[in-house]
Amino acid sequence: MITKNVEITSPQKLVFKKSKITKLDLALYYEKIAPRIMPYLKNRIISTVRCPAGTKGTCFYKKHLETKNKGVKKIDLPNNSGNKEDYYYITNTSGLIAEVQMNAIEFHIWGSKVDKLDQADLIVFDLDPDEGLSLKDVKEGVTDLKWVLDNLKLTSFLKTSGGKGYHVVIPIKPTNWEQVKEFSKNIAGVMSEKWPDKYTNNVRKINRRGKIFIDWMRNIKGSTSIVPYSVRAKDLCTISIPIEWDELDKITPDSIDIKGAIKRLDNKDPWVNFFEVKQKI
């Protein structure tokens, strides 16, 4: 089977055994969703979660170039030792499908584009609840975070994680990473101080008991976050799906799968104005 000039080998291989989703199904999903996902994915350094034997087998993160396709480009960056490592990014839908052909399921992105690597243009907060906390607690956390951001006159957008939480995303004018990191850490700190019994900004798991960790660490240069519309490598083939703020009470973090995501294409894009927002932190 060939789609977007990419041959999909072993198209009937079950990637999601429980959901009976094949490799071809996955490729066709990404082709169908491309107009929605590519504006967030293209020209950003990526890492992927690959599962060559399906989600029941061994999965691993891949952040170095391997795919051979004109839609996939290499970029060399120095590591902490000063040596260069090859990272990569996608420029078009063909490159996206080529990654699926190489068994990629999840797509994670940097918060900056390749032409401005030293300046982030989006901020991501991941609300990570401790075990035992309810979905009601998580939704309350999302609402509280939005309240803080609203008071700062910042427009924010909401999506499910495809797992057990939600992500709040803020588009910003390109800003140096150190400033973005400090801003994000301060927001998490404000929530921890205002509601100390509910939230923490402490990265140590031992200090998260009974609380929601406001994960601000996605906003450090080199860190990644799951891209909107990405499939998650979980049994039910769930999607990290953009939603309207008034859908928070209706949509749980792991309730939208491939079929549900495609069906939502008939509706208004919840993030239709994302790239029109021009705001500073």
* pLDDT tens series, the chain, 281 aa: 676 789 999 999 999 999 999 999 999 999 999 999 999 999 999 999 999 999 999 999 999 888 788 899 999 988 777 788 899 999 999 999 999 999 999 999 999 999 999 999 999 999 988 888 899 999 999 999 999 999 999 999 999 999 989 999 999 999 999 999 999 999 999 999 999 999 998 877 777 788 999 999 999 999 999 999 999 999 899 999 999 999 999 999 999 999 999 999 999 999 999 999 999 99
**b/e 28-55 (16+ beta carbons within 10 angstroms → b):** bbbbebbebbbebbbbbbbbbbbbeebb
Q: Which two tokens stand for residue 214?
A: 């406001």
Q: Which two tokens stand for residue 112?
A: 């900056």
In this structure, which amino acid lies at residue 273?
A: N
> How many Cβ atoms are within 10 Å of 73's Cβ, its own excluded?
15
The pLDDT value recorded for residue 152 is 97
The pLDDT value recorded for residue 69 is 87
The pLDDT value recorded for residue 206 is 72
> pTM of the prediction?
0.95
The pLDDT value recorded for residue 67 is 78
Question: How far apart, in whole angstroms, are the C-alpha atoms of residue 135 and residue 141?
Answer: 10
Q: Which of 215, 217, 195, 201 is nearest to 137 (CA)?
A: 195
The pLDDT value recorded for residue 1 is 65
What DSSP assignment string belongs to 129-150? Answer: EPTT--HHHHHHHHHHHHHHHH
Domains of the chain: 2-117+226-238+255-276 (3.90.920.10), 119-219 (3.30.70.3300)
